[in-house]
Homo-oligomer: A and B are copies of this chain.
């Protein structure tokens, strides 16, 4: 048992942190005031700096230029990048593109790879993933209403999706649709590559969250498929394998998410500390207040414990595979999401009124990361997974 991070990888983490601090954090205020599209050129420049440092796309498969890191190492990187809402994007690790790259790499045909994977890996285009539906509880992804009917020369898609993250401005979507309605529960859906400019692929709206719809990469869309026709080779992976591939995609995703949340928590803690240490109260600073000290200490202990727990889960995945680590992955999902939101809330309180403004990144985190307890399975669903597993042996 060894909890130390080898020196060379510590250096990589430090480089990543320096790049983030110098090239990414300064862009945050502009994200809030100008929006994604105006910021894109600056983001591209930041990506260039990351590329020059050889740190772009560490999460890619090695054959595509990825860094060939272990899940634990990727997790540690994700924690650093997670400090900024722009971090993963600038380092080429942003969802849903990273997951789409993986799926295309593993299941795409050569033609699909050339047309969609290559420009995605280069960062020339963006993509999205259409799974969740407004009419079906997201907690059970095997229940889908969107259908793909086979015709002589292709497929016709019909359906209604929402929370298609980053759809706005993306070149294509990977879409989950039912192709075998009579199949077994986990074998009904298939995946399709659908260009966003296909006829009948309606962009209903960027769903307004906390007061506005966002734009581009920072938005979640509601979309509809009205007899959208795609050719035979739009099918991605085997027929009926949609759910299986999605599961594969989610596995490492949860580790990354948890570590990203811990990066958020750590950033919030840093902002708490910075504000506490500098905010004058006349007869001292906020940091002299014991309540603030308690919050700092509680946050630190929780973030550290959660970090070790996620790394241990990643370690188990590496040794025994995702199936064996199912309980651990569910456990970190709700553990980390709640800890992160708690730390962010304390950081807002320490900032005072400023914590509600876009003068810091905290208000963004406070609102837009509230979803952490909901998406990819709400707390309650993951708790059920853990409880059921522990109760299994005990029941008569």
Question: Is the Cβ of B390 less than 8 Å from the Cβ of A273?
Answer: yes
Q: Annotate A278-319 by CB proximity to B: 1 below 8 A, 0 otherwise.
A: 111110010101111110111011101110110110011001
* Contact of A364 with B331 in the complex, beta carbons under 8 Å: no
Task: Verify if A349 is at the interface (C-beta below 8 Å from B).
Answer: yes
What is the distance, in angstroms, from A346's C-beta to the closest C-beta of chain B? 11
Residues of B within 8 A of A394 (CB): 273-274, 276-278, 287
| Interface hit among A93-101, A190-198, A369-377 | A369-377
List chain B residues, Cβ under 8 A from A298. 334, 383
Check B3–A297 contact: CB distance below 8 A. no
Which interface residue of A4, A139, A328, A364 has the most chain B CB atoms within 10 A?
Answer: A4
A53 on the interface (CB 8 Å rule)? no
Contacting pair B301 A331 (CB below 8 A): yes
Chain B residues with CB under 8 A of A111: none
Whether A335 touches B305, Cβ cut-off 8 Å, given contacts A287-B391, A300-B386, A386-B296, is: yes
Q: How many residues of A contact B (CB 8 A)?
A: 99
| Complex interface bits, A2-23 against B, C-beta within 8 A gives 1, otherwise 0 | 1111100000000000000000
One of A121-129, A209-217, A249-257 contacting the partner: A209-217
Is B356 within 8 A of A287, CB to CB? no
Bound form: Cα–Cα A366–B162 in Å = 21
Chain A positions within 8 Å of B, measured between CB atoms, are: 1-6, 32-33, 72, 132, 134, 137-140, 143, 162-163, 207-212, 214, 269, 273-274, 276-282, 285, 287, 289-294, 296-298, 300-302, 304-306, 308-309, 311-312, 315-316, 319, 327-328, 330-332, 334-335, 348-349, 352-358, 363-364, 366-367, 370-371, 373-375, 378-380, 382-388, 390-391, 394-396
Q: Other CB < 8 Å A-B pairs besides A1-B72, A277-B391, A349-B379, 4 of them?
A: A287-B394, A289-B290, A294-B383, A308-B312
